[in-house]
Structure formats: C-alpha cells, structure tokens
C-alpha cells in the first residue's frame, strides 16, 4: 500500500473510481492492525495514510477512525521521535476542520499536547497540527502567527518536494478567514511578482 500510494501521488500510477473499494478494504485491514498498538504497524500505516492523503485515495469512510486513533498517539508527549513525526505527517494529510464533542474524554489531554507542541514542536509537522487542533478546539490564535507558521512550513515543503501544501490544511485557514497564498506559488502565476 505504501508503494501504491507513493506512486499514485507522484504520478507514476493512475487509478479510476472502480478501484476505490480496494482501498476501503485495505484501510479496513490497517484499522485492525493499528489498534494492536504495535509501533511497527503504526509507523508503516502512518506512511500509507500520508501518501494516500497526497494521492487523494484515502477513503473518507475511515477518516474519523484514523484521525481519532492518530490524535491519541499525537497527544502522547513521550513518543519516540520517528513515531511522533510520522503520526504528525499522517495527520497533516487527513485532518479536517471539525468541532469536538463536549464529552470527548481526550479534550483536556489534547489541549495540553496542543499547547506544548505549538510552543515547542518536535518535528516539521507538529506546529501545523497544533494550529489545526487549536482551530478545532475553538482556541484563540493570532492570525499573523498562523500565516507565518503556514508560510514557513510551505517553504520547507516546497524546498523538499515541490508539491506545496495539502489542500486539507487550507481548510483550516478558511476557518480563520485567512487567505493564504504561498509567495513562490504566486510568482509562478505572475512572473512580475
């Protein structure tokens, strides 16, 4: 699945809608595996989720389950670095703006982790995910700080792989009424910039 997702996201493979049921079944199997809490499964499945998110083949039917599962892992401030990084990376590809139910038992732990990772991210995805969770939690954010965080993340991402940003993350900016456009992207559209 990692291989297929990567090759679809990089344009080497093409798929059609008839193949969606296969991805549903594969992610159903991965849901069962990730619940074992085996770090090897967790790591590999996060890679699959991230590439599937990039390839736009991540099954919508599994989004809530994987967001909740990965959120519980992301909250753990004692994760090993590589587990934390792939968890944050996977979340950056599938997280949606939503509101938590008031009776969600993870909200207080999420607030603590979000504030900690916002101030002191352990990898290049943590601060972006912290911003997204802050938006979902209805916490106050400084728009200028958010624009700066998105801008810095976009520069790193473009330098590394030229793919720009996950369109899902832009949904969070819309929630804050921020119109963000990467300057290098704008320059490609208008060479005079």
Determine the Cα–Cα distance for residues 73 and 67; give it in Å rounded to an integer: 10
Contacts 24+ apart (CB under 8 A), 120-123: 122/81, 122/84, 122/85, 123/81, 123/84, 123/85, 123/88
Q: Is pLDDT above 70 for 29?
A: yes
Say what the pTM is.
0.80
User: pLDDT tens digits for 99-138?
Assistant: 777 777 888 999 999 999 999 999 999 999 999 999 989 8
pLDDT averaged over every residue in the chain: 80
The reported pLDDT for the residue numbered 5 is: 65
Q: Is pLDDT above 60 for 92?
A: yes
Determine the Cα–Cα distance for residues 152 and 157; give it in Å rounded to an integer: 9
Identify the band that residue 80 occupies on the pLDDT scale cut at 50, 70 and 90: very high
Contacts of 134 (CB under 8 A, 6+ apart): 114, 118, 141
Determine the Cα–Cα distance for residues 107 and 112; give it in Å rounded to an integer: 9
Q: Which helix (H) or strand (E) holds 94?
A: helix 81-94
How many residues make up the chain in this entry? 193
Residue ranges covered by each domain of the chain: 2-189
| pLDDT > 90: percent of the chain | 41
User: Which DSSP letter does residue 162 get?
Assistant: S
Q: Is pLDDT above 90 for 179?
A: no
């Amino acid at each position: 699945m990692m291989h297929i997702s990567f090759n679809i996201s990089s344009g080497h493979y093409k798929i059609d809608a008839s193949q969606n049921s296969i991805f549903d079944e594969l992610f159903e199997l991965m849901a069962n595996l990730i619940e074992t809490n085996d770090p090897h499964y967790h790591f590999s499945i996060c890679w699959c989720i991230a590439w599937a998110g990039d390839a736009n083949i991540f099954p919508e039917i599994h989004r809530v389950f994987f967001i909740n599962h990965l959120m519980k892992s992301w909250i753990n401030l004692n994760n090993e670095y590589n587990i934390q990084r792939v968890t944050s990376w996977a979340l950056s590809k599938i997280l949606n703006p939503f509101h938590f139910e008031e009776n969600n038992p993870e909200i207080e732990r999420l607030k603590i982790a979000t504030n900690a990772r916002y101030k002191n991210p352990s990898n290049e995805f943590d601060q972006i995910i912290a911003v997204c969770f802050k938006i979902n939690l209805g916490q106050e954010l400084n728009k200028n700080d958010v624009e700066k965080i998105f801008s810095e993340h976009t520069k790193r991402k473009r330098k590394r792989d030229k793919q720009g940003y996950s369109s899902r993350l832009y949904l969070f900016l819309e929630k804050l009424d921020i119109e963000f456009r990467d300057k290098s992207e704008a320059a490609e559209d208008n060479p005079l910039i």
